[in-house]
Structure 1
Amino acid sequence: MFIVGSKGIPGSYGGYETFVDRLTERHQGDPSLKYHVACKAKDSERFVYHNADCFDVRVPSIGPAQAIWYDVAALNDCVSYIRRNRIPHPIVYVLACRIGPFAAHFQKVIHCLGGVLYVNPDGHEWMRAKWSRPVRAYWKWSERLMTRHSDLMVCDSVNMERYIRGEYAGYSPRTTFISYGADARPSVLADDDPKLLGWYREKGLSPKSYYLVVGRFVPENNYETMIREFMASGSKRDFALVTNVSDRFLEELRERTHFDEDPRVRFVGTVYDRELLMKIRENAYAYFHGHEVGGTNPSLLEALASTDLNLLLDVGFNREVAEDGALYWDKRPGDLAALIDRADAMDPEEIRALGVKARRRIHDAYSWEHIANQYKELFTNDKSAVEA
């Protein structure tokens, strides 16, 4: 199994990087699976991590085109390794739809080697506001080409699978649904851990005194709506935003919302310590989730696994995941503000009951153990992997 498209493991923990790390961790003792993982690097070397063969791919500093270069170079390395070592029936799994113009070529080469090409389409990258119109057009074109020239589209949400099947029905794409995962356990940090207490002192927060959001600082995650609506609410709690701010977007939000005039709104920086962030989520009074572009979102799964009260933007991707374990809002003026006021007045037992439902949902459908088992079933039993 060759995986291309993550920045690599270990040590880089975006969504795809965490996925590859957890997958290889759970399969490291399984003799029926052998992983080869591309890693983005300035040097070129091979090393073993979680019993996976990790190979560094050198990428030049060429701006945004780095990602395309990286995927193409990594696939060339995979093809060379498969040929050199005469790997029978290889599966090459590409994460994200960046290299559509090259998809037909690589599918043909991989088929000639007796293998198959799988693609994870991620989310609607072509809808993200951060991209210019030409870049969005490229993402959409690339997605179409990769759907057309893949042997299987592995979608991380039912809604994304439905979109791929409908949007590209003319290609009769072969699809399956396997979600992203989450750690279905509490943080190892105690309530009086010095690391946690120090963070609270620094940020001026305390357990259950804050609403929380964790995520990329981009417009499609609806920071403006969440800030504006929180400011319109009567909540006495704070709103803590754990995110890596972009100065330009931050200034735009300041001009449009005047959040700097409301002491409850607190940009508290990033938290890369996994256990600390998990504990911060556990101690939040409630969690906001405003993502509306993409498939199953890692930060949503992590919130449902840790936070009792979750207030989610009402879109198909989010309802599919949380079901009745969360409360929902839309972007109409006043809707989220009213929900915040309602949340502030909720009975603690009602909140705990929602938390039980949310954690059960994660345990039953989104635990990493469950996801790893689904991937093992796919990689070992998918007939196309041996008949291509």
Structure 2
Amino acid sequence: MTGIKSIGILGTRGLPARYGGFETAAETIAVGLRKAGFGVIVACEEDSRRLHLPSYQGVELVYFPVKDSLRPLSEIVYDIRSLIEIGTRVDAIYMLGYGAGFFFWIARFLRKTLIVNSDGMEWKRPKFGRISRSLLRMSERLGLTAANVIVADSKCVARYVEQTYGKTPIFLPYGTPAISPPPWDPDSIMKWRPGLVDLLRPDDYYLVLARMEPDNNIDKIILGFAQTRTTRKLLLVGPCISPSYLLRLKDLARKDDRIILAGAVYDKGIKTMLRWHCAGYLHGHMVGGTNPSLLEALSAGNVVLGTDTEFNREVIGEGLELPAFYFRPEPDSIAKTIESVDPELLALREKARVWGPARIKQAYNWSDIMRGYELLFDRC
């Protein structure tokens, strides 16, 4: 090991992962680096729903307050405090995202090696207005300019960074573990959401497992599904932090008794079970590079119906036998895609059970990715 012996990982909600696939990936990286012999400190949001553990699997946890009512401003303050307080204690800072890019000079002032994960062009997200997008682009420029090393989790993002800023990122995607087929367990569903036990049957529902936000086209998926004649259910699982958007989704869902808004689930066993036993997986993400939830769907052997983006096509792979189908982020296109595959869905899933895990093993397995991270920090 070279001069870098300790690493601060900043920019996520913290450990243990609860919020989504991005946090799960960050957890795997943090724990993996600790097992490789590095000292690792992770910044965590103070949250009344989260146990304030001093450490997690050998990784030190440091907490900072974030007010939901003041996001995203509160998140920027969180990142600044993390940079200062954790930055003084480590040799290198790994910043996931560039929301606080205006302040990345702090790492240079502290004479720390700054490694920035360029994320997935956050300024493209529809939820941001014109001013927010302009600020995010400026933050991106300042943050990536300040970085000693840039990491891109997607080849599409790597090309964008190189063409825009003249810097060549290191390509290190996220990964996902192999899945052992779980049995259908009504008792687990009963403990999570008692009302779902009589509504759900294995192989008889489409699944959306994502944050419930406009960027992921959740409302358009509901509207598109409502146009179909399928007898299967649509199960939507994930947190929603926007009260107004949640009200919209509830209003749309109550018009069709096939549509189930189940809320968030943080039990990994239940999530794996829901993935494995769904007939098809609907993926509405538009931006964000390599998306962990899409990787998890492939690992579970899901038939993927997803938005037609370069990010999604890169992950799924072109010219492979993996059954995947693409739609435009419009209700009519989503409806036509569902209608076209619904009769053959279970037969298609048999192919997906083989080719999905094979794709993960080929390009997105954590063993290879963690070797890349160890090499990155050894060489910095």
Superposition TM-score, scaled by structure 2 size: 0.86
Asked if structure 2 preserves the Cα contact closer than 8 Å seen for 1:284 and 1:307, the reply is no
- Identity among equivalent pairs (%): 31
Once the two structures are superposed, residues 117-167 of structure 1 have per-residue CA deviations (whole angstroms, 9 ceiling, x without a partner) of 110122222222333332222111101111111111111111111111122
State the partner residue of 2:3. Answer: none
SS of the residue corresponding to residue 35 of structure 1 reads strand
SS of the residue corresponding to residue 326 of structure 2 reads strand
Asked if structure 2 preserves the Cα contact closer than 8 Å seen for 1:213 and 1:288, the reply is yes
Bigger shift: residues 67-76 or 341-350? 341-350
Give the superposition deviation at 1:5.
Answer: 1.4
Give the superposition deviation at 1:314.
Answer: 1.0
Q: Which residue of 35, 38, 45 corresponds with 2:40?
A: 35
Is residue 366 of structure 2 the alignment partner of residue 368 of structure 1?
yes
Letter in 1 for 2:84: N
CA distance in 2, matches of 1:56, 1:332: 41
Is residue 63 of structure 2 the alignment partner of residue 56 of structure 1?
yes
State the partner residue of 2:209. Answer: 214
CA distance in 2, matches of 1:80, 1:105: 10
Give the superposition deviation at 1:310.
Answer: 1.2
CA distance in 2, matches of 1:68, 1:28: 26
Letter in 2 for 1:202: G
State the partner residue of 2:130. Answer: 133
Bigger shift: residues 299-308 or 333-342? 333-342
SS of the residue corresponding to residue 202 of structure 2 reads coil
Any stretches of 5+ residues in structure 2 without a counterpart?
1-6
Is residue 183 of structure 2 the alignment partner of residue 177 of structure 1?
no
Asked if structure 2 preserves the Cα contact closer than 8 Å seen for 1:9 and 1:39, the reply is yes
CA distance in 1, matches of 2:68, 2:122: 22
Give the superposition deviation at 1:200.
Answer: 7.9
CA distance in 1, matches of 2:314, 2:256: 34
Equivalent pairs counted in the alignment come to 363
Bigger shift: residues 8-17 or 316-325? 8-17
Asked if structure 2 preserves the Cα contact closer than 8 Å seen for 1:116 and 1:151, the reply is yes
State the partner residue of 1:290. Answer: 284
SS of the residue corresponding to residue 344 of structure 2 reads coil
Give the superposition deviation at 1:26.
Answer: 3.1
Letter in 2 for 1:7: R
CA distance in 1, matches of 2:170, 2:312: 19
Larger Rg: 1
State the partner residue of 1:86. Answer: none
State the partner residue of 1:95. Answer: 96
Any stretches of 5+ residues in structure 1 without a counterpart?
83-89
Give the superposition deviation at 1:353.
Answer: 1.0
State the partner residue of 2:218. Answer: 223
Q: Which residue of 333, 356, 359 corresponds with 1:358?
A: 356
State the partner residue of 1:85. Answer: none
Asked if structure 1 preserves the Cα contact closer than 8 Å seen for 2:301 and 2:352, the reply is no
State the partner residue of 1:74. Answer: 82
Letter in 2 for 1:194: D
Superposition TM-score, scaled by structure 1 size: 0.84
CA distance in 2, matches of 1:81, 1:201: 46
SS of the residue corresponding to residue 54 of structure 2 reads strand
Letter in 1 for 2:195: E
Is residue 17 of structure 2 the alignment partner of residue 24 of structure 1?
no
Asked if structure 2 preserves the Cα contact closer than 8 Å seen for 1:24 and 1:51, the reply is no
Q: In structure 2, do the counterparts of structure 1 residues 192 and 240 end up closer, same or farther at CA, with 3 Å as the change threshold?
A: closer
CA distance in 1, matches of 2:243, 2:118: 30
State the partner residue of 1:309. Answer: 303
CA distance in 1, matches of 2:63, 2:336: 51
Q: In structure 2, do the counterparts of structure 1 residues 279 and 36 end up closer, same or farther at CA, with 3 Å as the change threshold?
A: same
CA distance in 2, matches of 1:200, 1:104: 47
Q: In structure 2, do the counterparts of structure 1 residues 271 and 205 end up closer, same or farther at CA, with 3 Å as the change threshold?
A: same
Q: In structure 2, do the counterparts of structure 1 residues 25 and 101 end up closer, same or farther at CA, with 3 Å as the change threshold?
A: closer
Matched ranges for 1:257-296 at <5 A = 258-296=252-290
CA distance in 2, matches of 1:161, 1:222: 25
Give the superposition deviation at 1:35.
Answer: 1.6
CA distance in 1, matches of 2:229, 2:158: 40
CA distance in 1, matches of 2:345, 2:47: 54
CA distance in 2, matches of 1:244, 1:6: 16
